[in-house]
Structure 1
Amino acid sequence: MPHFELGEAIPPDTAHAVSVSLPTWRSNIGYEEGEDWVVSRMQTGYPRFVIHKSIQNFASDIVAKFGTPGHKAFLFPTRRIAVRCLAFVKSLAPPAIAATLDTVHLVLDTSKPSARALVSLSPNISAVICSQEAFPYVKQYWQHTGDGVSSRRAEFCHGLFKDGLLRRDDDLPASIPASPKPCKGPKRYQRTPGVQTPKSTPSPGLSPDRDLETTASAIPDVQESSRFLEERFGRNLDVSFVEPAKSAIKRRIAGALRSNHELTTAPPPEGEMAANTRGVVNLREEDIYLFPSGMSAIFNSHRALLGARGNMKSINFGFPYVDTLKILQKFGPGCAFYGHASEADLDEIERRLESGERFLALFCEFPGNPLLTCPNLRRIRELADRYDFAVVVDETIGTFANINVLPFADIVVSSLTKIFSGDCNVMGGSAVFNPNGRYYSALKQFAHAEFEDTYWPEDVMFMERNSRDFVSRIDRINANAEAICHVFRASPLIKTLFYPKYNESRANYEACKVANGGYGGLISVVFHDRRQAIAFYDAIDTAKGPSLGTNFTLTSPYVLLAHYQELDWAKQFGVDPDLIRISVGLEETEHIVAVFKEALKVAEQSVEGNGDGNGAKTIDS
């Protein structure tokens, strides 16, 4: 196992890493407390919580040019998202603080030849500039919605800004369109008629509605633009493959893509989508939407349901990932929260429905994070059909290689950042609309009017490459997770093991498990003695930091990181403050089993003839 220093990026030497090393229990607490000995050493962090340095640098330059000294800027990919951020802050912040907000919209200066090829990339940036007092409110929007710019987008657009190719919209000449229409995707892949681009040369991104005479006259500009893209992206991105990459990702999510060979710009085979593993033969590629993060998929699914069905409360069923609950509470009329996901909770919901109460949707995870509890989707679907509410299922933990939840849901969401990617170097999310759902037509109508494709092309290409071996990786991870479970089950130190195969809700998991599926790569454990939990975490020879679903085993005192300010609240739902969560990776099984046995041995030795078990000295030492 590689050794990770405090604050080092995970994976190391990765410019756009998604995790960061917090190698001791104390360092996790130091991070939550904002202690300088931790925070000052952090090279990066989980992108929705710790703003990437490339984004910070670009934001600082925008403030320096357009803002007020001492102010900060948050960067978003479109004007509409920035406007939604403003509305959110104004709904929460005191008027005097909200009045400090300003926006700057940066767009391409297409009067310059080298910028013309970039129109299809839509490299626009909208900055919300705020005072220090308004910063926490804007940060909430950034964190909860996942709609901020990615670090790769910021890096690329910052270069354009420095070169004078990205300019404030009201500074452009009147003859220059301020907001070029973004490429909408397949027509099939928006290829320019009559123009053949060699595979090795980045596509110039010409607008498909330009006639051939105009195109021919623009060849010198095209050559200049191609050179510009080559210099900017290098070998990371041939833009002629962006739309095929999106198509491949969507078909992978549908369980329809049978081949993982190199991409081509040729249309995918006819009928491929019909033979998918979701069990929905009329599922189309256009029913799958890609987002820059998993939370963006959840947030925009909630927006779509509010737009399609009206302003009603939702239900958050089961102990949730932190920002899902925040979205349902803060955006719209609020939600009813049932943190146990039990049959008794469903009984109570049914009583409320029978009394005439109505809800927008029920949101749940399958399994839940971190307790791996599985709600009864069959019963939830029956209630939804009877009482007219939508069902949104987050399948991130289970993954569609192990489970099939689409027949029970109106929308299935997932964080592609996790095991779908595996490499821990790119963010992404997806939402699948069930074409047989009651609200499908209304959702599609909303999406047609409101959906903005903000998934940055370079992120798309990394996600497509990373996910090619997704299914084969799942098999190995399933096997490793079960082997580690056997180690924990044999240990007298473990008070509770959380894993779908051994939880009380196993029958609910089995009802959705696919024929060759397993039980996933996430495990949570609680020790009898807190000191043993701390000793185990400090000793375990794995990567240690936030996130999950990585190709390498990643260990985290999850509750400390996700719920540090609300530990007592979490505890009432069975979520122990000292719970340790393990995201299992692809290591050789014998080796990873030995790693866990050794850490348990250290944990056992840590309390022999020592103290009263409160663990206070261990934390402070």
Structure 2
Amino acid sequence: MPAFNLGESIPPHTEHAVSVSLPTWRANVGYEEGEDWVVGSMTTGYPRFFIHRSIQAFAKDILEKIGKKGLVAFLFPTRQVAARCVSFVKLRAPPAIVSSLEVLHLVLDPVNPQSKALRGLSPSISAVICSPEGFGFLKQYWQHTGDGVSSRRAEFCHSLFKDGLLRVDESPNTAAPMSPKPCRGPRRYQRGGSLDAGKPSITSQTSTTVPDREETSRFLEERFGRNLDVSFVEPAKSAIKRRIAGALRSDRELTSSPVPEKEMESNTRGVVNLREDDIYLFPAGMNAIFNAHRALLGARGGLKSVNFGFPYVDTLKILEKFGPGCVFYGNASEADLDDLEARLKAGERFLGLFCEFPGNPLLTCPNLARIREMADKYDFAVVVDETIGTFANINVLPFADIVVSSLTKIFSGDCNVMGGSAIFNPNSRYYSALKDFARTGYEDTYWPEDVMFMERNSRDFASRIERINANAEAICDVFRENKLIKAVFYPRDNESSANYEACKVPGGGYGGLISVVFHRKEQAVAFYDAVDTAKGPSLGTNFTLTSPYVLLAHYQELEWASQFGVDPDLIRISVGLEDTADIVNVFQAALHVAEHGSQ
């Protein structure tokens, strides 16, 4: 296994890596405490929590250019997103901070003749600027919503800004396009999928069908040292969507011709009328959840939501802070459903029920069949986050009105690009209202370069899942047989396994996530420090990634989390593609250290 230094990107030497090495228990605590020996060594971090250095550099240059040094700036992809951020801050910040708020829009300089070649990319930036005291409020919005710019967008637009191709828009009320103009694609992509192939890169392609696309490709390569043919973007989005629907084999040739919608009928989701345009892409998984919530508020009005089951941290924050609030059921148990049903019978009504399947980090699964029955009877939407189960293992769409997922995780696997998706179930009673909202309320802010990395990374998604499932089951057996382990959390054999089996697809497995709790904290610390894997935030990587998850996600609320059976010393393992015998040996060796080094 490779050794990772403190603060090094995971994967190493990867400019847009999604994770960062925190190799010891003490380093994780130091990160949460903001200690400089940790924070100062970090070259990167998880993108919604750590503002990438390319974004920081761009924000700094913007402030210097407009004479606002000493203030802070957060960068967003569009005017509408920046306006939402400002509204969020105005509702929460003191008057002094609110009065310092300013929004700056950067757009292509229409006078510069080189701008023509870039229009297909829609490279825009909106900066929300305020006094340093407002940093925390802006950061909340950035983290919760996933609405911030990606590091690749920032890097690219910063180059334009330094070359004078992006300038301050003096007419901020000018309407911005809701999404980039669609482009016709080339005849085919070149890379095939392989479990053991090298990492993908954007390769030079030439489109001979549309002259201005040739101009764009040549301009991008010559001026910015990259090959980003905009004619690739729409076919890549289509491929991602069909892959999410289970309607496109990974080795399928992609063409510039539209794929017949009838081919979607054979999707693995069990919904024959599912269409490609029922699947929406977002720059992050949390952004998919945020926009699913926005869509329901827009379609159904201002009702409270239900957060059912112990959630990933920002899901609950979104439901609490955007809109009228939520009711929280932290155990996702039948007793919780009994209580919810009693409230519904008494006349309470809700916008929607949000849940994970399985949940993070306890890997328990709610009873989706019963939830669906209650939703139909009492008129609320069901939103299911399938990130951990993955649609290669489970099919939750028949039970849901909206299914969301973080593509950043196992769908990508390479840990070098963010992404998210949302599927509107065409059989939902809210489908028409959701689609009506999306026509004006959905912005396609997924940066083209990120799209292309995601498409390439996900080509061998299905074959990777099979190996990860097998590795996870083998590692789970090692933990269950070890006397140091107090509890193992895994969907295969827990109290809610029947709920998982009800959604498991033929040939599917149980996913790549395992959580364990040791009898004593010192055993957990010794194990974590000794385990010879990558160690940092995120999950679903092609390599095994270990994390003291609760410390990182709930450090300021450990006592609250423990009410729901979430132990503060829980260790979460995201299992990768390593040889099964090798990775089993890694965990057995760490358990041996924990047994003999913590006595």
Q: CA separation of 1:202/1:181 partners in 2, compared to 1, >3 Å: closer, same or farther?
A: farther
- Structure 2 matches for 1:93-104, cutoff 5 A? 93-104=93-104
Q: Does 1:200 align with 2:205?
A: yes
Q: Does 1:411 align with 2:402?
A: yes
Q: Distance in 2 between matches of 1:190 and 1:384?
A: 44
Q: Distance in 1 between matches of 2:295 and 2:141?
A: 17
Q: Does 1:42 align with 2:42?
A: yes
Given residue 429 of structure 2, which amino acid in structure 1 is its aligned partner?
R
Q: Distance in 2 between matches of 1:226 and 1:376?
A: 50
Q: Is the 8 A contact 1:67 1:129 kept in 2?
A: no
Q: Does 1:289 align with 2:268?
A: no
Q: Distance in 2 between matches of 1:168 and 1:406?
A: 44
Q: Distance in 2 between matches of 1:424 and 1:354?
A: 45
Q: CA separation of 1:178/1:159 partners in 2, compared to 1, >3 Å: closer, same or farther?
A: farther
1:87 match: 87
Q: Is the 8 A contact 1:119 1:180 kept in 2?
A: no
1:564 match: 555
Given residue 470 of structure 2, which amino acid in structure 1 is its aligned partner?
A
Q: CA separation of 1:44/1:259 partners in 2, compared to 1, >3 Å: closer, same or farther?
A: closer
Q: CA deviation at 1:222?
A: 7.1
Q: CA separation of 1:117/1:318 partners in 2, compared to 1, >3 Å: closer, same or farther?
A: same
Q: CA deviation at 1:266?
A: 2.6
- Structure 2 matches for 1:166-205, cutoff 5 A? 166-170=166-170, 179=176, 182-185=179-182, 200-201=205-206
- Structure 2 matches for 1:361-400, cutoff 5 A? 361-400=352-391
Q: 1:470 aligns with which of 461, 477, 483?
A: 461
Matched residue SS, 2:526 = helix
- State the TM-score, normalized to the length of structure 2: 0.94
Q: 2:340 aligns with which of 342, 349, 355?
A: 349
Q: CA deviation at 1:182?
A: 4.2
Matched residue SS, 1:326 = helix
Q: Is the 8 A contact 2:185 2:255 kept in 1?
A: no
Q: CA separation of 1:349/1:233 partners in 2, compared to 1, >3 Å: closer, same or farther?
A: farther
Q: CA deviation at 1:180?
A: 6.0
1:163 match: 163
Q: Distance in 2 between matches of 1:273 and 1:311?
A: 34
Matched residue SS, 1:107 = strand
Q: Distance in 1 between matches of 2:226 and 2:367?
A: 47
Matched residue SS, 1:519 = coil
Q: Is the 8 A contact 2:387 2:409 kept in 1?
A: yes
1:64 match: 64
Which stretch shows the higher mean deviation, 597-606 or 63-72? 63-72
Q: CA deviation at 1:233?
A: 5.9
Matched residue SS, 1:63 = helix
2:493 match: 502
CA displacement, residues 539-577 of structure 1 (integer Å, 9 cap, x when unaligned)? 000000000000000000000000000000000000000
1:615 match: none
Given residue 167 of structure 1, which amino acid in structure 2 is its aligned partner?
R
Matched residue SS, 1:419 = coil
Given residue 29 of structure 1, which amino acid in structure 2 is its aligned partner?
V
1:319 match: 310
Q: Does 1:17 align with 2:17?
A: yes
1:110 match: 110
1:453 match: 444
Q: CA deviation at 1:529?
A: 1.0
CA displacement, residues 561-620 of structure 1 (integer Å, 9 cap, x when unaligned)? 000000000000000000000000000000000000000000000233xxxxxxxxxxxx
1:535 match: 526
2:321 match: 330
Q: CA deviation at 1:135?
A: 0.6
Q: Distance in 1 between matches of 2:268 and 2:24?
A: 41
Given residue 576 of structure 1, which amino acid in structure 2 is its aligned partner?
D
Q: Is the 8 A contact 1:540 1:595 kept in 2?
A: yes
CA displacement, residues 504-525 of structure 1 (integer Å, 9 cap, x when unaligned)? 0000000000001000000000
- Structure 2 matches for 1:607-618, cutoff 5 A? 607-608=598-599
1:255 match: 246
Q: CA separation of 1:232/1:494 partners in 2, compared to 1, >3 Å: closer, same or farther?
A: farther
Q: CA deviation at 1:230?
A: 2.0
Q: CA deviation at 1:181?
A: 6.8
Q: Is the 8 A contact 1:113 1:224 kept in 2?
A: no
Q: CA deviation at 1:67?
A: 4.9
2:198 match: none
Q: CA deviation at 1:267?
A: 2.2
Q: Distance in 1 between matches of 2:97 and 2:230?
A: 42
Which stretch shows the higher mean deviation, 262-271 or 161-170? 262-271
Q: Does 1:550 align with 2:547?
A: no
1:124 match: 124
Q: CA deviation at 1:95?
A: 1.4
Q: Is the 8 A contact 2:178 2:444 kept in 1?
A: no
Matched residue SS, 1:84 = helix
Q: CA separation of 1:67/1:338 partners in 2, compared to 1, >3 Å: closer, same or farther?
A: farther
Q: CA deviation at 1:271?
A: 1.8
Q: Is the 8 A contact 2:237 2:455 kept in 1?
A: yes
Q: Distance in 2 between matches of 1:171 and 1:306?
A: 30
Q: Distance in 2 between matches of 1:489 and 1:223?
A: 58
The percentage of counterpart residues that share the same residue type is 76
Larger radius of gyration, structure 1 or 2? 1
Which stretch shows the higher mean deviation, 296-305 or 66-75? 66-75
Q: Is the 8 A contact 2:402 2:424 kept in 1?
A: yes
Given residue 437 of structure 1, which amino acid in structure 2 is its aligned partner?
S
Q: CA separation of 1:527/1:181 partners in 2, compared to 1, >3 Å: closer, same or farther?
A: closer
Q: CA deviation at 1:268?
A: 2.2
Q: Distance in 2 between matches of 1:300 and 1:468?
A: 26
Q: Distance in 1 between matches of 2:520 and 2:214?
A: 67
Q: Distance in 2 between matches of 1:233 and 1:499?
A: 46
Q: Distance in 1 between matches of 2:583 and 2:216?
A: 49
Q: CA separation of 1:256/1:150 partners in 2, compared to 1, >3 Å: closer, same or farther?
A: same
Q: Is the 8 A contact 1:312 1:359 kept in 2?
A: yes
1:575 match: 566
Equivalent residue pairs, number: 583
Matched residue SS, 2:2 = coil
Q: Distance in 1 between matches of 2:235 and 2:106?
A: 28
Matched residue SS, 2:262 = coil
Q: Distance in 2 between matches of 1:144 and 1:464?
A: 25
Q: Distance in 2 between matches of 1:607 and 1:364?
A: 38
Q: Distance in 1 between matches of 2:597 and 2:303?
A: 52
Q: Distance in 1 between matches of 2:234 and 2:223?
A: 19
Q: Is the 8 A contact 1:377 1:508 kept in 2?
A: yes
Q: Does 1:340 align with 2:331?
A: yes
CA displacement, residues 21-52 of structure 1 (integer Å, 9 cap, x when unaligned)? 00000000000000011011000000000000
Structure 1 stretches lacking a partner, 5+ long: 192-198, 207-218, 609-621
Q: Distance in 1 between matches of 2:123 and 2:207?
A: 16
2:411 match: 420
Q: CA separation of 1:303/1:436 partners in 2, compared to 1, >3 Å: closer, same or farther?
A: same
Q: Does 1:51 align with 2:51?
A: yes
Q: Distance in 1 between matches of 2:186 and 2:67?
A: 38
Q: Distance in 2 between matches of 1:339 and 1:351?
A: 17
Q: Is the 8 A contact 1:294 1:429 kept in 2?
A: yes
Q: CA separation of 1:395/1:491 partners in 2, compared to 1, >3 Å: closer, same or farther?
A: same
Q: 1:308 aligns with which of 290, 299, 310?
A: 299
Q: CA deviation at 1:179?
A: 4.4
Matched residue SS, 1:592 = helix
Q: CA deviation at 1:263?
A: 3.6
- State the TM-score, normalized to the length of structure 1: 0.91
Q: Distance in 2 between matches of 1:412 and 1:123?
A: 29
Q: CA deviation at 1:474?
A: 0.3
